[in-house]
Amino acid sequence: MFDTNHPGYQAADDLKLGLQLLKFLTLFSQRYTPCPTTPSPIILKEMRRRSALRVKDWLQYRKILTESRGFGSPLSLPELQRNRQAILAHKAANLRVEEAEFFGTPSSVSLLDLLPIFMSLSAAKVHQANWKINGTWMSLAADFMQRAALEQFWVFGTQQIEPIGAAFAWGWTDHEASQSDPSSESHMVNEMFQDEDTKMEIPEWTLIRSEHIKALLPTKAYPETQDICALSQFEGTMISFLEGMLKSLRQPVLVQMEVGKVEGMSDAETSTFKTRLGWG
């Protein structure tokens, strides 16, 4: 009945964005320990396969690592375990043995795994709300990439990928703009980084990305207290950003009716509408 009387009301996009937001927030906030929402090893393997292909394709058209050869030699297992324990000690207490041994294994979700989800979420917000990425978002995204690269080196010890290239391979490419389906997620993510005037990559993003790459080197073998505190600060900033995005979403109609005010209706119209539906 509501859709019949108000055909212009767009709930589907808000619902879709809300689900994307919930998915990212859940994975981001619960990645240190195994839980029901942790993707299965098969799903994680497929996520990483698709991400590696995207990175390889992106780096064919963009060169961002001219100042760096990346990190040094991969850390040994004892070094990785030391780093994992240091981060977990700061993040959580009273972990069971199986929980303490989960973080940093191939079965756990890494920040690098979450980057594509964050980019798709941000692009969906841009597409839906005619919103544009700004300096605040760019700094948060670049910090995310920096933390993801460091985590690969300090915690996961992944040797199949070059952590810096894998983390920072985000930005505008002419190839993606001209070859991809305009309705695809990859196209929307690419367009998010395009400057409206020059039709090239947003200069501010190019600069911020480069600065964050340079700040990584040289990298210590062990995260120090300030490094772990910086990770916690980043996580807090990300949660605040997500909370702001959540507040910007249009409330579901039932929630609006519960509080007595439906968007686009006066108080009297809302009351009449609720009566027609037999609501309270």
pLDDT at 135 over 70: yes
Q: What's the pLDDT band for 76 if we cut at 50, 70, 90?
A: confident
Tens of pLDDT, residue by residue over 189-231, are: 999 999 989 989 999 999 999 999 888 876 677 777 788 888 8
pLDDT of residue 99: 75
> What is the DSSP code (8-state) at residue 265?
S
Where in the chain are the domains?
11-249, 254-280
pLDDT beyond 60 at 125: yes
Q: Residue 11 has what pLDDT?
A: 46
CB-based contacts of 69-72 (< 8 A; 24+ apart in sequence): 70/162, 70/163, 70/164, 70/165, 71/149, 71/153, 71/163, 71/164, 71/216, 71/219, 72/219, 72/221
Q: What is the pTM of this model?
A: 0.82
Q: What is the pLDDT of residues 232-247, one digit of tens each?
A: 889 999 999 988 888 7
| 258 against 143, higher pLDDT | 143
pLDDT higher than 50, residue 2: no
**Average pLDDT of the residues in 136-158:** 92
What is the band of 170 on the pLDDT scale with cuts at 50, 70, 90? very high
Higher pLDDT, 184 or 94: 184
Q: Please name every residue paired with 194 in a beta bridge, in sequence order, or none if there are none.
A: 201
Phi and psi angles of residue 236, each rounded to the nearest 5 degrees, phi first: -65, -40
pLDDT confidence of residue 112: 96
Closest by CA to 167, choosing from 254, 55, 252, 242, is: 55
Q: In one letter, which amino acid is 24?
A: F
Q: State pLDDT tens for residues 89-122.
A: 877 656 776 777 899 999 999 999 999 999 999 9
